Amino acid sequence: MCLDPAAARAAGHPDVIAPPTFSTTFVMTAIEAFLHDPDFGWDYAHMVHGDQAIELHRPIHGGDELVTVIHVEDLRTRAGSHMLTLRCETTDVAGEPVVTTRAMLVTQAEEGA
């Protein structure tokens, strides 16, 4: 279903179906670029991934053309740690929702900040 277009079509899908966490492959690149922006001042070396949610409005198919916009949904500092929640909205080119993901990332806040 994920690799064989004929099998996916036989099951009624337009093309191969992406696995549920596949959006990582195009969302992560954008998140990485954002986290490495020196103006943002994120301590990348000490970052851990706190939690992750994926809401699939429809399956992603082979041949899809998709657009992803990253939103800073929440940023808070507690007990010496920054907690950043990024919401990534992926739509098709007509603007119809395809997948919404939320990544909560944690890193240490600056010494003495």
Partner 1 sequence: MTGLAVGDELPPLTLRVTRADLVRYAGASGDFNPIHWSDRVAGGVGLPGVIAHGMLTMALAGRIVTDWAGPAAVRSYGVRFTRPVVVPDDDDGASVEVSGKVAGLAEAGGETIAKVAITATFEGRGVLGKAVAEVAVPAE
Residues that bind partner 1 (CB under 8 A): 1-2, 11, 13, 17-21, 24-25, 28-29, 32, 44-56, 59
Q: In terms of Cα–Cα distance, which of 28, 29, 70, 30 is closest to 49?
A: 28
Closer to partner 1 by Cβ: residue 13 or 91: 13
Residue nearer to partner 1 on the CB measure, 56 or 91? 56
Closest contact distance (angstroms) between CB of 113 and partner 1 is 19
Minimum distance of partner 1 from residue 14's CB (angstroms):
11
Q: Contact at 8 Å (CB) between 64 and 8?
A: no
**E strand segments, 4-80:** 48-56, 66-78
Is the Cβ of residue 3 or residue 94 nearer to partner 1 in the bound state? 3
Residue 2: name the closest of 50, 112, 102, 11 by CA. 11
For 82, the token pair is 């920054």
Whichever of 45 and 94 has its CB closer to partner 1, that residue is: 45
> In whole angstroms, how far apart are CA 73 and each of 2, 15, 82, 101, 103?
31, 33, 13, 11, 10
The nearest distance, CB 52 to partner 1, in angstroms, is 6
* Cβ at position 100, least distance to partner 1 in Å: 9
